Amino acid sequence: MYKSILVISDLHIPYHHKDSFAFLKAIKKEFKPDYIVNIGDLLDFHAINMHMHDPDLYSAGHELKASRRYIKELESIFPKMVEVDSNHSSLVYRRALKYGMSREFLKDYGEFLGTKKWKWIDDLTLTMSNGQRCFFTHGRSADILKVSQTMGMSAVQGHYHTKFVISWWANPDNLFFGMNVGCLINQKSLAMSYAKNFRTRFIVGCGIILGGIPRLLPLVLDKKGDWIGKIV
């Protein structure tokens, strides 16, 4: 059972918000989480995505080199972390499968990123300190309550960059929550230019579960787009 579960999603390294690591350090210091899960899109892999690639951004090789530097910094903050599979982070394998390449030719995530104690999995179910279970996934439905109700337990997801919400439902026996934890993206980066005309904006932050109770932690920005330097 875990008392304090920190949930990070959608960093899209190397196109993450420049203050996201300082923000995560502050959260670690204040809440001392005993379990850290990144529920997807740790890396962007813009250069090899299935959609349009901006020629003014990194090549695949340069993007990986830049990402490794940031991954090393993030690993120094969280030496142990569980990584949930997702649409962006799986792009290397999806590309390989598209062109008929066996997985035998490919390195695993930890090997090509250089991480030592991070664990890579599909989805995750944990027992919280209140005895209830919680399901963690990258993105199953825009309606997080549908995910929770389908799984029959509380649920947390990312993927939907504009969704930063906690909702509740109950059956005769228990109360359950569904939490969307937003993202930690720099929306002004060229890699995110597809969203420049969206009427809704990305919400930058993460989530934490304390004693079985979810809480959203927004990375609040000032008018210049910098973190205000405190957790609210």
Segment-wise mean pLDDT, segments of 10 residues, the chain, 232 residues: 96 94 98 96 73 68 87 97 76 61 70 87 94 93 93 96 95 96 86 64 95 98 95 95
Task: Give the model's pLDDT for residue 4.
Answer: 98
- Which residue in 98, 88, 93 sits closest to 67, CA to CA? 88
Task: Give the model's pLDDT for residue 14.
Answer: 92
Task: Give the model's pLDDT for residue 128.
Answer: 97
Residue at 59 is within a domain: yes
Q: Which two tokens stand for residue 138?
A: 């990258």
Q: What is the pTM of this model?
A: 0.89
Task: Give the model's pLDDT for residue 165.
Answer: 97
Residue at 120 is within a domain: yes
Contacts of 131 (CB under 8 A, 6+ apart): 1, 212
Q: Which regions of 122-183 does DSSP assign to beta strands (E)?
A: 124-127, 133-137, 154-157, 164-170, 175-181
Residue at 232 is within a domain: no
Distance in angstroms (rounded) separating the CA atoms of residues 154 and 175:
8
Assess contact for 91 and 64: CB atoms under 8 A: no
Residue at 229 is within a domain: no
Residue at 223 is within a domain: no
- Which residue in 37, 23, 20, 40 sits closest to 89, CA to CA? 40
Residue at 227 is within a domain: no
Distance in angstroms (rounded) separating the CA atoms of residues 58 and 42:
17
Task: Give the model's pLDDT for residue 108.
Answer: 76
Number of domains within the chain:
1
What's the CATH code of the domain at 10? 3.60.21.10
Residue at 156 is within a domain: yes
Task: Give the model's pLDDT for residue 142.
Answer: 85
- The neighbour count for residue 219, using CB atoms within 10 Å, is 23
Residue at 224 is within a domain: no
Which alpha helices (H) appear in 121-166, and where do they start and end?
144-151
Task: Give the model's pLDDT for residue 161.
Answer: 87
Task: Give the model's pLDDT for residue 191.
Answer: 55
119-121, strands of its sheet edge to edge: 119-121, 82-84, 35-38, 4-8, 205-210, 213-218
Distance in angstroms (rounded) separating the CA atoms of residues 38 and 152:
22
Structural domain of residue 138, as residue ranges? Answer: 4-218
